[in-house]
């Protein structure tokens, strides 16, 4: 049968694929614009046509990528809108975005910021005189620290409130009286809500030790009581999100919803146990351990180490429907989540330390953490250890294929970067490798070569670690050809290996039926090679 090849050519320079939304489609030249439409109390259309507030604009509102929290905000008098937009011509090489204001009746948008990094998440003060937002100072760095900024609308001057605070401010929201700004920030695997005076000062954690990924300022407390009331969406490694009411003056919390109570009562889900050890350069590194159901401390359990992506993200004490630690622990595995070098929530230097060093200190952190757990917890079986990861986490799996010297019984690589040079030529985020590998393949070939797993592929056959390779055919972030290259190297060296390609998925597996299949294949691979009687040389070709 003849094959029909469809070639789609991008219309504008640098816009090779649609960014965001799972990164699964080519750009068709269309843009998302900002519209307003009158409404009546009932919510019905008021009779007037929707007004395009940015007619002819060759940018998206909100940005298709990295739009973050509330990228559009109404002023208190509802006469003005503030929005975030990326206007750089070559989007694939830029992380810049700026704030703009536009009248709800139309007119030319006014640019409010000119910072070379990303400015987003605008929030008007109750009196409308000030806009709070978060901002990254450095261009071309997705993982730069998010500063909490305030912009005086009268003078146009922006001021940072968190230069001395070594965490990234995420979602700025104002107190009812306009004297305080609330925001959440990643902090050692958690994401508490903080409060800071609108004039600056030291942030105070309102919900320390909690992962409150989303929140809003709900209402004032009872008359005569100070502070505001927040509603937060709180989860943990042991429980999906529920809504809680939090009093800002005391941090006292009361659970509002119990949507998952009946299901959780039927399950034995262990809480994540935080631990700290010494990583590369004697630096403190944190991780979480999750015990299996029906845990018996007198038994020996296999260990599964999960490697997070990013690389500049964190393992959180939070629920996830993808890469769920409780599912991984359910067959009787101890699950290990380590926030190695490059993770967020541990200070900007810790995050920046991975640039140009993907396989260096981060690898040492992970292996030191594994040694620490195997030495500290008597119920872990050092002879039965596996590792799995996605995106950068899968890069590390590909790296471990040679550098771990056969220490693992099984490896699982999902959407992993294998050849840094070919990845550069195919990804839609050119700024990413240009920052993390200190240039392009032609300006800094040495870093690309020494940091690329494919450079060490000749060693795969020496250890023959059984490896499951997974990819999405619609992945433009890490194109699935990276996984094909890795799998071919494994196969040609007779390494027990299996390839799964989802034709209808991108960087993440999102469709319910595909997710079920993904988990089944993932767990079957571990059952084959990680159980007590599993032969590490069993072929899965």
List the one residue out of 518, 415, 420, 435 whose CA is nearest residue 476. Answer: 415
Q: 236 CB contacts (<8 Å, ≥6 apart)?
A: 211, 271, 272, 317, 318, 319
From the candidates 143, 241, 316, 391, give the one annotated as an active-site residue.
Answer: 391
Q: Quick one: DSSP state of residue 17? A: S
Q: Is 134 a catalytic residue?
A: no
Q: What whole-number distance in Å separates Cα of residue 495 and Cα of residue 482?
A: 17
Q: What values do phi and psi take at 396, rounded to 5?
A: -65, -35
**Which of the following is catalytic: 134, 435, 454, 507?**
507
Q: Would residue 454 show up in a list of annotated catalytic residues for this protein?
A: no
CB 73 within 8 A of CB 153: no
Q: What is the dihedral of CA 338, 343, 347, 349, to 10 degrees?
A: 110
Q: Is the peptide bond before 475 cis (omega within 30 degrees of 0)?
A: no
According to DSSP, the residues that pair with 83 across neighbouring strands are: 72, 100
Q: Tokens in use for 78?
A: 């509802």
Which of 98, 475, 497, 536 is catalytic? The answer is: 475
Cβ-based neighbour number of residue 256 at 10 Å: 11
Interhelix angle 361-376/392-403, rounded to 10 degrees, is 80
Cα(506)–Cα(477) distance, integer angstroms: 8
Rg of the chain over Cα atoms, rounded to whole angstroms, equals 25
For residue 309, CA distances in Å to 257, 278, 281, 329, 417 come to: 31, 21, 22, 20, 11
Q: Has 77 been annotated as catalytic?
A: no
Annotated catalytic residues are 391, 475, 507
């Amino acid at each position: 049968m003849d094959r029909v090849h469809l070639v789609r050519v991008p219309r504008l320079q640098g816009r090779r694929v649609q960014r965001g939304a799972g990164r699964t489609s080519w750009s068709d030249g269309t843009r998302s614009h900002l519209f307003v439409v009158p409404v009546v109390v009932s919510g019905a259309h008021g009779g007037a046509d929707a007004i395009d507030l940015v007619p002819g604009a060759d940018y998206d509102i909100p940005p298709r990528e990295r739009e973050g929290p509330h990228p559009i905000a109404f002023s208190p008098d509802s006469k003005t809108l503030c929005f975030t937009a990326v206007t750089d011509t070559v989007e694939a090489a830029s992380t810049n975005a700026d704030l703009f204001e536009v009248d709800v009746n139309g007119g030319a948008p006014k640019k409010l910021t000119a910072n070379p990094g990303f400015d987003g998440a605008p929030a008007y003060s109750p009196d409308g005189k000030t806009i709070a937002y978060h901002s990254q100072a450095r261009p071309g760095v997705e993982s730069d620290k998010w500063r909490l900024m305030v912009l005086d609308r009268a003078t146009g001057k922006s001021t940072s409130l968190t230069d001395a605070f070594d965490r990234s401010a995420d979602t700025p929201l104002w107190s009812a009286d306009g004297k305080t700004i609330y925001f959440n920030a990643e902090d050692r695997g958690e994401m508490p809500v903080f409060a800071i005076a609108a004039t600056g000062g030291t942030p105070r954690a309102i919900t320390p030790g909690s992962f409150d990924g989303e929140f809003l300022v709900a209402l004032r407390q009872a008359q005569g009581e100070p502070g505001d009331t927040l509603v937060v969406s709180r989860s943990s490694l042991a429980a999906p999100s529920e809504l809680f009411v939090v009093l800002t003056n005391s941090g006292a919390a009361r659970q509002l919803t119990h949507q998952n109570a009946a299901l959780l009562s039927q399950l034995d889900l262990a809480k994540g146990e935080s631990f700290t050890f010494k990583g590369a350069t004697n630096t403190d590194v944190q991780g979480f351990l999750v015990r299996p159901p029906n845990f018996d401390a007198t038994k020996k359990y296999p260990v599964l180490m999960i490697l997070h992506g990013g690389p500049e993200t964190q393992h959180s004490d939070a629920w996830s429907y993808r890469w769920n630690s409780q599912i991984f622990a359910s067959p009787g595995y101890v699950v290990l989540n380590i926030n190695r070098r490059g993770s967020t929530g541990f200070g900007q230097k810790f995050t920046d330390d991975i640039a140009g060093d993907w396989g260096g200190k981060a690898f040492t952190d992970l292996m030191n953490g594994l040694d620490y757990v195997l030495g500290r917890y008597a119920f872990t079986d050092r002879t039965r250890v596996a590792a799995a990861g996605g995106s950068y986490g899968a890069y590390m799996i590909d790296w471990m294929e040679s550098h771990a010297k056969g220490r693992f019984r099984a490896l699982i690589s999902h959407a992993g970067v294998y050849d840094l040079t070919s990845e550069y030529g195919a990804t839609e985020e050119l700024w990413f490798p240009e920052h993390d590998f200190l240039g392009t393949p032609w300006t800094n070939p040495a870093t690309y070569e020494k940091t690329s797993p494919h450079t060490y592929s000749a060693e795969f056959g020496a250890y023959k670690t059984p490896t499951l390779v997974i990819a999405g055919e619609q992945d433009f972030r890490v194109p699935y050809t990276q996984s094909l290259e890795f799998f071919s190297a494994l196969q040609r060296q007779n390494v027990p290996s299996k390839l799964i390609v989802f034709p209808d998925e991108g960087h993440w597996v999102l469709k319910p039926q595909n997710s079920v299949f993904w988990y089944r294949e993932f767990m079957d691979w571990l059952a084959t090679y990680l159980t007590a009687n599993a032969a590490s040389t069993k072929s899965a070709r």
